[in-house]
Amino acid sequence: MLLDRAFDWIPVKTGESSDAVYRRSDGLAYAKIAPAHRSVDLAGERDRLAWLNGLGAACPEVVDWRETEDGACLVMTAIPGVPAVNLPGTDLLTAWPSIIRQIRILHDLPVDQCPFDRSLTFMIKRAADVVARDAVNPEFLSDEDQETPASELLARVERELPTRFDQEAVDKVVCHGDACMPNIMIDPIGFQCTGLIDLGRLGTADRYADLALLVANAGESWVSREQGAQAFAILFDTLGIDKPDKERLAFYLRLDPLTWG
């Protein structure tokens, strides 16, 4: 059995990856169960969490790992709080500076000591594979890209690669890899970030790969244009970036949907 039967496990969800997620009955741990064809990916998340432990980032710790011919199970400590996606815009804005600080802890880790690669070279190969298998999920695409063939979307991204490779070379950091609001936990009373979850895509990449997802995903929570502009300014002021590169943000938003599938 993949789950420890000494505890009761409560189903939480089945994610986009097809992994099943369970909460332990005492609330202190979560388990992800992956089918056999995704065991390698789940092992990658296990290894990333093990590497991060003790480096200052607030994230789950590995409790147990089990693998059989049918699949694998990763048990992790629970990060307290609620997902940032569940907060109304005003509360998210209160939590926003602490979210940025948690992301920055990752970005400030020594790049040369991180064994996990999420570089453009790696992600473009992944996108090419997803497109070749006709596996792009149209729900991840922007409204204006819904009717565009995936091969054209990939070609558009590839035309920008020379510039983006140059930028990555001077601004590579340890990225979360999927820095979206469901993966950021918040104390619902003090509205401070308690940690980051779903770190299976962590690796070295241009910091804008994270910033693009933060800006776009949080943008769905803001109740006014002014609130969104305030959050944008806080993000880049906190990171010490005087002139945010909006074209670079847009590039990573175009690339990311092509890498899932």
Active site residue 178: yes
Residue 3 has a pLDDT of 84
Same fold, 9-77 and 82-259: no
* Nearest C-alpha neighbor of 141 from the set 127, 158, 129: 127
Residue 2 has a pLDDT of 81
Class of domain 82-259 as given by CATH:
alpha beta
Distances 212 to 100, 107, 160, 236 between C-alpha atoms, Å: 13, 14, 16, 12
In the chain, where the domains are located: 9-77, 82-259
Residue 17 has a pLDDT of 63
Q: Which residues have a Cβ under 8 Å from the Cβ of 96 and sit 6 or more positions away?
A: 218, 231, 234, 235
* Separation of CA 151 from chain center: 24
Residue 197 has a pLDDT of 97
* Separation of CA 129 from chain center: 20
Please, what's the largest Cα pairwise distance for the chain?
A: 54
Cβ 235 vs Cβ 98: under 8 Å: no
Say how far apart CA 80 and CA 101 lie, in whole Å: 17
- Break the chain down into helix, strand, coil percent, rounded to 5: 45, 20, 35
* Nearest C-alpha neighbor of 210 from the set 190, 180, 239, 168: 180
Low-confidence ranges of the chain (pLDDT < 50): none
Distances 138 to 12, 50, 143, 147, 259 between C-alpha atoms, Å: 25, 33, 9, 9, 12
* pLDDT digit string, tens, across residues 135-178: 999 999 998 999 999 999 999 999 999 999 999 999 999 999 99
Cβ 142 vs Cβ 168: under 8 Å: no
164: phi then psi, degrees, rounded to nearest 5: -70, -35
Report DSSP letters for 127-192, one per residue. Answer: HHHHHHTT---GGGS-GGGTTS-HHHHHHHHHHTHHHHHHHHHHSEEEE-S---GGGEEE-TTT--
Q: Which of 145, 178, 198, 206 is catalytic?
A: 178
Cβ 195 vs Cβ 79: under 8 Å: yes
Neighbours of 237 (CB within 10 A): 13
Residue 16 has a pLDDT of 57
Residue 7 has a pLDDT of 85
CATH topology of domain 9-77: Phosphorylase Kinase; domain 1 (3.30.200)
Instruction: Note the pTM of the prediction, 2 decimals.
Output: 0.95
* pLDDT digit string, tens, across residues 238-249: 999 999 999 999
Distances 58 to 53, 105, 106, 153 between C-alpha atoms, Å: 9, 9, 9, 35
